[in-house]
Structure 1
Amino acid sequence: MFSTAAIVISLLCLMFFAYRGYSVLLLAPLMATLAVLLSGDIAMMMPIYTETFMSALGGYLLKFFPIFLLGALFGQLMADSGAASTIANWITRVLGERHAILTVVLACALLTYGGVSLFVVAFAIYPIARELFRAADIPKRLIPATIALGSFTFTMTALPGTPAIQNAIPIPYYGTNAFAAPGLGIIAAIIMFSVVWWWLNNRASKAKAAGEGYGAHNEDGEVSLDPVESTGAARDAMPFWLAIAPLVLVIGVNALFTYGIFPNVDLSYLNNEFPDLEVANQTGLWAIIIALLVSCAWLIVTCLNRWHNLQDTLNRGATGSMLPIFNTASEVGYGAVIASLAGFMIIRDTVLGIAPGNPLISEAVAMTTLAGITGSSSGGLSIALETLGSDYLQLAQQAGISPELMHRVAVIAAGGFDTLPHCGAVITLLSICRLTHRQSYLNIAMVTIAIPMLAVISIITLGTLFGSF
Structure 2
Amino acid sequence: MGLIGILAGLALLVWFAFRGWSVLLLAPIAAIVAAAFAGQPLLAHWTQTFMGSAAHFVAQFFPLFLLGALFGKLMEDSGAVGSIARWMTVTLGPQRAMLSVVLAGAAVTYGGVSLFVAIFVLVPMAMALFREAGIPRRLMPAAIGLGTMTFTMSAMPGTPAIQNAIPMPVFGTTAFAAPGLGLIATAIMFGFGMWWLRRQESHARATGEGFGDETPPDVDAAADDPLVRERATTAAAFDPAEVHHSQHAPTEPPVFIAALPLVVVVVVNLVMSMLVLPNIDASFLAEPRWGGTSLSAVAGVWSVAVALLAAIIVLLATSFTRLPDLRATMDAGANASVLPIFSVASLVGFGAVVAALPAFEAVRDWVLGIGGGPLVSLAAATNILAALTGSASGGLTIALDALGPRFMEIAAATGLDPGLMHRVAVIGAGALDSLPHNGAVVTLLAVCGTTHKTSYFDLVMACVVSALLGLVAVIVIGSAVGSF
Q: TM-score range by the shorter chain?
A: over 0.9
Distance in 1 separating the partners of 2:10 and 2:447: 28
Deviations 1:369-405 (A, max 9, x none): 0000110000011001111100011112222110000
Which SS does the other structure have where 1:418 is aligned? coil
TM-score by length of 1: 0.96
- 1:459 and 2:474 matched: yes
Match of 2:138 in 1: 141
Residue number among 72, 79, 92 corresponding to 2:89 in the alignment: 92
Instruction: After TM superposition, give the deviation of residue 270 of structure 1 in Å.
Output: 4.3
Which SS does the other structure have where 2:283 is aligned? coil
Distance in 2 separating the partners of 1:80 and 1:221: 18
Deviations 1:315-356 (A, max 9, x none): 000000011111110000000011111221110110011126
Residue number among 49, 52, 61 corresponding to 1:52 in the alignment: 49
Deviations 1:142-195 (A, max 9, x none): 101111000000000000000000000000000000000000000000000011
- 1:302 and 2:318 matched: yes
| Percent of matched pairs sharing the same residue | 48
**2:82/2:252 contact within 8 Å kept:** no
Matches within 5 A, 1:348-427: 348-355=364-371, 358-427=373-442
Matched letter for residue 88 of structure 1: A
User: Per the alignment, do residues 7 and 223 of structure 1 end up closer, same or farther by CA in structure 2, a change over 3 Å counting?
Assistant: closer
TM-score by length of 2: 0.93
Match of 1:447 in 2: 462
Match of 1:312 in 2: 328
Instruction: After TM superposition, give the deviation of residue 231 of structure 1 in Å.
Output: 5.4
Residue number among 298, 303, 307 corresponding to 1:291 in the alignment: 307
Instruction: After TM superposition, give the deviation of residue 9 of structure 1 in Å.
Output: 2.2
**1:377/1:418 contact within 8 Å kept:** yes
**1:15/1:422 contact within 8 Å kept:** no
- 1:67 and 2:97 matched: no
**1:181/1:404 contact within 8 Å kept:** yes
- 1:321 and 2:337 matched: yes
User: Per the alignment, do residues 316 and 222 of structure 1 end up closer, same or farther by CA in structure 2, a change over 3 Å counting?
Assistant: closer
User: Per the alignment, do residues 217 and 3 of structure 1 end up closer, same or farther by CA in structure 2, a change over 3 Å counting?
Assistant: farther
Matches within 5 A, 1:76-115: 76-115=73-112
Instruction: After TM superposition, give the deviation of residue 217 of structure 1 in Å.
Output: 4.1
- Structure 2: gaps spanning 5 or more residues: 222-242
The more displaced of 445-454 and 193-202 is 445-454
Root-mean-square deviation (CA, aligned residues, Å) is 1.7
Which SS does the other structure have where 1:303 is aligned? helix
Match of 2:26 in 1: 27
Match of 1:276 in 2: 292
**2:158/2:176 contact within 8 Å kept:** yes
Distance in 2 separating the partners of 1:451 and 1:92: 24
- Structure 1: gaps spanning 5 or more residues: none
Match of 2:2 in 1: 3
Runs of 4+ in 1 over 6 A off after TM superposition: none
Deviations 1:51-81 (A, max 9, x none): 1100000000010000000000000000000
**1:79/1:231 contact within 8 Å kept:** no
Matched letter for residue 369 of structure 1: I
Distance in 1 separating the partners of 2:217 and 2:58: 41
